Structure 1
Amino acid sequence: MSKTGRTDPGNYARFEAGSFGYRKEQLSTGGVDGDNDYYVSIQHNERDGYQDNTPNKGQGIVANFGHVFSPQLETRFYIRYKEETLSQGNTLTKYQLKHDPTSNLVPIGRKKDGSTLLGSTTTYTFDDNAKLEVGLGYNDYPLDNGWRYSPTPQEWRSQDINLTLRYLRTADTFFGLRSDSSVTFSNTLAYLADVKSHSKATGITQQKTNYTGSRDTVFSLGNELQLNDRTWLSTGLSLIDIKRKAQIEYSTATNTSAFPSGVEYDETDVAPRIGLRYQLTPEFEVFGNVSRSVDPPVTWQLGSTGTPYIRDVRPQKANTVEFGIRGGHGIFDGSLTVYRSWVQKELLSVVVRQATATQDQLVATSNGSATIHQGIEAGLNAQLWDGGNGDTVTLRQAYTFNDFHYRNDAVFGDNQLPGLPRQVYQAELEYRQGSGFYAQLNARAASSYYVDFANSLSAPSYTLWGAKVGYEAPSKKWEVFVDARNLTNKRYATATNTAYDAKGQDSANFYVGDAFNVTTGVSFHF
């Protein structure tokens, strides 16, 4: 939920600085004037980067203005504007991670000269407390990709409009049972979307691809029915219509592939869901859900300017079952969820060509064969000590187990899908005084995972340690902190490319994580 003048009145200032040339400043103000309220926040950030030649900077403004016409009618307008200049380091080999982690021979540069979001939400409350919400949105997202380093920069234009209608009813009765329901319609249309590339050496346009007319339309019904004092039944049904248009209008390259130069389709699907919650005890509840999801490809996944053809990439669909328990007792509270998804036509991307000084990286997306996503998500918090007067020692923990794999693929069998750690564990131990002082020790551990679909090369596992100390005034008027990360100066991969088959050879597929770094900051409410 966005901050407003009613939820965050007054003035706020925050300043941060740290390693690798990091600087960030934020100023905001909010207030209420009769039936009107306002909130405005401006922000600026810069960072020189850990890898060579990776400076980043950005600045922007976020604002919203609300007006209450009557107890039944109110509206709010939103504005967001942001400029960014981003430089990203190239991927490294495992050897470079350990011995030359700041190396960056083929940097990547992106520039957003001004992304703009304009929107409004108007709410009308009927006499029976039912609500009708009307949302309008306009998004302009220009992108200069490769503006600084690429031999073939790309200029993206992406402008879309959105209409959302939502009708909500609460505290109704259905056969004598309490019922909350909603009806939602949403339509997002790309009314101007294309990408054009040119040769930096000659300035000649090389290719233009148009996506204008692509659209996502969703109509959904939802209901939560209280069957008795302990049991709730949740149901829903979504009708989803997806239209994709991608057409290469001009190219200096000849399409010699089996793929077409344009793709257009309109696909409709239904996504039902049903869930049950049961209050096992006053402190614990168990739940189970069965649902279907439909995830369409973004337009550029069909093709952009790297190849003179378009791929007929269709929406990814999945059927999911999940069960879990959540609640707390004594010093503990937490949750545990177990899930399994049967995925069809999964959207899978692979790096088919690494970037060099003379050519850009090429990434291809296609629909894979059947896959399974299953795993465990768990969280546990414990207040280990309460010294009175607000003095506490708290331990927060989160654990994720991910098992994403093919299901009898013709080439890869039951191989694991690349790019995602199989296990992730996070913990934070915090000592906090009622007077405002606090100290934290935190850890993040990630297991090894495969980089390629052939499961021949893996990313190294890692454990990172961090510490943070600070003071927050009891009045909440000001705070100061020092945050130190990667205390052991671990050299690790924070993410990877996804390769088709690395053949077990060490290759440049790893994005280096930051070395030991410190950030300090101060904030004021006035």
Structure 2
Amino acid sequence: MFQRSTLSAALAAAGLTLCTTLPAHACDCGMDDEPTPTTPSATQPQPARAAAVLAAAPAGAGLNTAAQAAPSAPTSGTPAAAPASTQLGRVEVTSRRDKDKSTLTQPDVRTARDRINTTPGGVSVIDADSYRDGRVANLADALAFAPGVLAQPRFGAEETRLSIRGSGLQRTFHGRGLKLMQDGVPMNLADGGFDFQAIDALSARYIEVWRGANALQYGAATLGGAINFVSPNGFNSDALDARQELGSFGYRRTLVSGGYAGEHFDAYLAANLFAQDGFRRHAVQDTRRLFANLGWMIDRKLETRLYIGWADSDSELPGSITKAQLNADPRAANPANITGDQKRDIRWTRVSNKTVWAPDAEQRIEVFWSASDKSLFHPIFQVIDQKNRDTTAELRYVNSAPVLGLQQRLTLGYNPARGTTDEDRWLNVGGQRGARTNASRQLARTDVLYAESQLSVLPALQLSAGAARVTARRQLEDRFIAGTPADPVSESFNVRYSGTVPKLGAIYAIGKDIQLFGNWSASYEPPSFGELAGGLRPVITRAQRGKTLEVGTRGTSKLASGALQWDVAAYEARITDELLQIATNVVGASITVNAPRTLRRGLEIGVGGQHGALDWRAVAKLSRNTFDGDPTYGNRPLPGLPERTARLEAGWRFSSALRLSVNAQHASGHAVDFARSWFADAYTVYGLRVGGEPEKHWKWFIEGRNLANTKYASTTGVVRDAAGRDTAQFLPGDGRAVYAGIEFKFN
């Protein structure tokens, strides 16, 4: 067989060229296949490139279509004929997966990080590798170091209390106040709620967190913003990834995933099993999931990708206990939860598609659709049976053509969502259906029309403006009581909501590594059925409206021993008709009311650095959530969330096979009632982790959590007035625990 130099010379003599650089699926020797873009590393902010990123990475961008491949120049000189007796040896060409491969439907991590530089507000990109070094049981594990995000597991389970800037302040179950997406495709139900069991952070490649109005380019008009889980595909995934986690309280989690990449097709499949006995009694969890996506690169300008998701989740609910019970026995369950065999069982299936057409380097048209089917069996203080069928679609147009010689990006979008829920309610007889107590059909419709423009008016200054129009309808048809004049207690209603959400923003670059940013925006949130029909009786609530001012900075400072990175944002939000949820005297029941005026003030801090073998990171959130001249409560702080939270991790890497890190988590105390007569205590818990990658195929970890075995409430419910008495509103956090994991990858 010829050596490469001999072969190259022979081909040159024949007037041919040897291609030595191969993308994942084809040899690009002047062929039509577009090469992988060479985007500079964005692990550090690069404000000076913000104008270029406007054109190179539009909203939802994948390939940098502005970077075109130049065909190889022909070999100069007159080719000489090869001797007839010359025979070339066999040439073996092999391809490999490209971890940085970006497709039209799924941008790579570097492109996502570059987009931060064009966003005038708080945005984070969390690479999955940053949290896969330890246990990944829920969103609290994945979003632990996302600035401004509060994620509190309710009892070590997947269902998590998730809040950004006080969104869903008193919502201690399910989720609201955020737009949740997979690869830019909405995952919320049509009424705005979402289920945590439909999300698997372990199967994501990275996570984008768009806080507040910074998510407008995705059509999010909520106070909290949006979270986008970006999946691996056949090009950037491993051919095989097998991961096993085991630990205390019967915890076990298994992930098997893999991908395939051909010339025009790629596929990715992940199967996930999660189970635990739980720290508390009556807290057994058992979840099975499948996620898959199949992509077809029709050509370099057109790509479509099909997504399939399935989850089967059974969860026992240990319920809330009193503070005295927490201190005496944090593993205890509420007695009513045991006698009623309270649980939440979900069967969920979702099919979606994302098609992107980029007719040229400056335009993109993105079309999404999804359809989901969910069944819920939920014995609590009553038995709730639900059948949900939801559909959503979205059309997004992005144009990055210069205007008067200035770089810009224009995003236009329309997102309609429709949902139908058939609900039956029964008496809870030992966790089984007793006599029927209610029946209804719930119809939800939400439409969002949005636009955002970003313009670089100076090399160091970018301005942005945008707006969204939200219209919604919530209709409930009472199928249990007709509501006749003799019995006028029908719960039927039909309400409509509409609101406009403007936004203005600016970014100013100081040098190439520091940015200052600010924005003013509004938010608008129609209630979900969890607010309208989730309690003992429907209470017709108004939409929550708000206006937010945000300023901040992000950047990198190079030090003699390493580098310092930061992301800091301060905000003030004035909310009108805030949706506040209050527990009733019936265990497990709640109602939602509108607070006339409330006020949010907060500081979100994310900072980290690397100095030789030492790396560290920290996040902190300082917030003040209060009533604003309320007739009853004046300017009192709102209950339900700690005003101060912080998390720190520092690690020392001895080698690639061994890294040792310590971590700590702190939360201040907070009231559990509006009268501020009873409080959850402040707490600090500590952990230790050791792990590494002994060689490229293997990864391992062992970690200890809450090593001091601290007794604390991970989250609480909220009541109107506890009158200074201990009340069952406390959900204990897990005690001392040890977890271990091992992962094998094969490219």
Coarse TM-score class (shorter-chain normalised) = over 0.9
Q: Deviations over 1:222-242 (max 9, x none)?
A: 111001110000111111111
Amino acid at match of 2:243: R
Q: Which range is displaced more, 179-188 or 309-318?
A: 309-318
User: Is residue 494 of structure 2 the alignment partner of residue 277 of structure 1?
Assistant: no
1:317 to 538, 545, 552: 545
Partner of 1:156: 386
- Shift of residue 268, structure 1, vs aligned partner: 1.7
SS of match in other structure, 1:92: coil
Q: Deviations over 1:282-339 (max 9, x none)?
A: 22110010001112211232014x53x4211122111000101111212311122110
SS of match in other structure, 1:77: strand
User: Is residue 698 of structure 2 the alignment partner of residue 487 of structure 1?
Assistant: no
- Flag the structure with more relative contact order, 1 or 2, with Cα contacts below 8 A and sequence separation at least 6: 2
CA distance in 2, matches of 1:398, 1:487: 21
For 1:398-413, list aligned pairs within 5 A: 398-413=619-634
- Shift of residue 505, structure 1, vs aligned partner: 1.4
SS of match in other structure, 1:345: strand
- Shift of residue 260, structure 1, vs aligned partner: 6.6
**Is the CA contact 1:89–1:106 (under 8 Å) kept in the aligned structure 2?**
no
Amino acid at match of 1:338: A
SS of match in other structure, 1:54: coil
Partner of 1:341: 573
Amino acid at match of 1:155: D
- Shift of residue 2, structure 1, vs aligned partner: 1.1
Partner of 1:519: 739
Partner of 1:332: 564
When residues 436 and 254 of structure 1 are mapped into structure 2, their CA distance, relative to the original with a 3 A threshold, is farther
Q: Which range is displaced more, 487-496 or 424-433?
A: 424-433
1:136 to 369, 377, 383: 369
Q: Using structure 2 for the length normalisation, give the TM-score.
A: 0.66
**Is the CA contact 1:473–1:479 (under 8 Å) kept in the aligned structure 2?**
yes
User: Is residue 409 of structure 2 the alignment partner of residue 176 of structure 1?
Assistant: no
Partner of 1:207: 438
Amino acid at match of 2:609: A
For 1:235-250, list aligned pairs within 5 A: 235-250=465-480
**Is the CA contact 2:483–2:489 (under 8 Å) kept in the aligned structure 1?**
no
1:380 to 594, 600, 607: 607
Q: Which range is displaced more, 251-260 or 309-318?
A: 251-260
Partner of 1:389: none
Q: Deviations over 1:368-401 (max 9, x none)?
A: 1200011101122132x31xxxxx1122111110
2:517 to 287, 312, 319: 287
- Shift of residue 405, structure 1, vs aligned partner: 0.5
**Based on CA coordinates, which of the two structures has the bigger radius of gyration?**
2
Q: Deviations over 1:413-448 (max 9, x none)?
A: 111111110100110011113433111100001011
1:438 to 653, 659, 663: 659
- What RMSD, in angstroms, separates the aligned Cα atoms of the two structures? 2.0
Partner of 2:325: 96
Partner of 1:71: 300
SS of match in other structure, 2:299: coil
Partner of 1:452: 673
- Shift of residue 406, structure 1, vs aligned partner: 0.2
Partner of 1:262: 492
CA distance in 2, matches of 1:67, 1:365: 46
Instruction: Count residues in correspondence.
Output: 506
- Shift of residue 6, structure 1, vs aligned partner: 1.3
Partner of 2:459: 229
Amino acid at match of 1:199: L
- Shift of residue 199, structure 1, vs aligned partner: 2.8
Partner of 2:20: none
- Shift of residue 34, structure 1, vs aligned partner: 2.3
1:353 to 585, 589, 607: 585
The percent identity for this pair of structures is 26
Unaligned runs of 5+ in 2: 1-229
When residues 127 and 335 of structure 1 are mapped into structure 2, their CA distance, relative to the original with a 3 A threshold, is closer
CA distance in 2, matches of 1:253, 1:198: 20
- Shift of residue 200, structure 1, vs aligned partner: 4.6
Q: Which has the higher helix share?
A: 2
Q: Which has the higher strand share?
A: 1
CA distance in 1, matches of 2:622, 2:489: 38
1:46 to 275, 284, 296: 275
Unaligned runs of 5+ in 1: 356-360, 387-391
